[in-house]
Homo-oligomer: A and B are copies of this chain.
């Protein structure tokens, strides 16, 4: 009797990779801290170091951990250069990179729009926190952003702390235990409206680059919906393929 079942087979190193990821997600291994050594983990899971290495290398290529020769392996945080620019693609036309400062225009809790319910996979009755801010690059207002997150996971974000750091993902990580791991962005060109005219100091109708981002955590759950409208006379969106 032959059995055509494939079962849920997956290679050992992938199974271990998933387990290690789970320990990061659970908070057992916090961002910025060292995890046990290769040999210790290999012993714990009763596999060879080589197999465990493959798991860690995969997590490293996913930016979940960072390996340091001679020191150890740390859980990735959002305060390294590499990580900061993973989600910030605006560069000056001359190629220089810099991070923006920001001024918060609005911060409140409210009911979600139907679009937000869909994008953030919200449950019925769940509220959202909405932050609107202007981000300055080299002193001139360049980005007008609307940031929306679930009020359930980010309870209190609408009141404290003051001021907001301009790298929100560090705040999500430290204050709310939520690590943004990846995101998808959709870009299009739009005409400036009245709000843009006021906050970005451009004329109505000026072409703006609109970036719509869905940010996801380590488990792939959508955690933030962000729309950025950008004035691109001095800056552009840089992407390497």
Contact = CB atoms under 8 A, between A and B. Distances in A.
Interface stretch (A15-23, A97-105, A202-210): A202-210
A38 to B, nearest CB: 17
Given A205-B205, A207-B208, A237 B188 contact: yes
A182 interface: yes
A239 B239 contact: yes
A91 B212 CA distance: 14
A210 B93 CA distance: 14
A207 B191 contact: yes
Given A207-B207, A207-B208, A208-B207, A241 B185 contact: yes
A185 B232 contact: no
Nearest to A212: B236
Nearest to A232: B188
Nearest to A188: B232
Interface of A: 86-87, 91, 182-191, 205-210, 212, 230, 232, 235-241
A236 B205 contact: no
24 contacts: A91-B186, A182-B240, A183-B240, A183-B241, A184-B239, A184-B240, A184-B241, A185-B238, A186-B237, A187-B236, A187-B237, A187-B238, A188-B209, A188-B232, A188-B236, A188-B237, A189-B189, A189-B190, A189-B210, A189-B232, A191-B206, A191-B207, A205-B205, A207-B208
Nearest to A238: B186
Contacts of A189: 189-190, 207-210, 230, 232
A49 to B, nearest CB: 14
Contacts of A185: 238-241
A185 B236 CA distance: 10
A208 B206 CA distance: 11
Given A189-B190, A236-B187, A86 B209 contact: no
A187 B209 contact: yes
Contacts of A91: 186
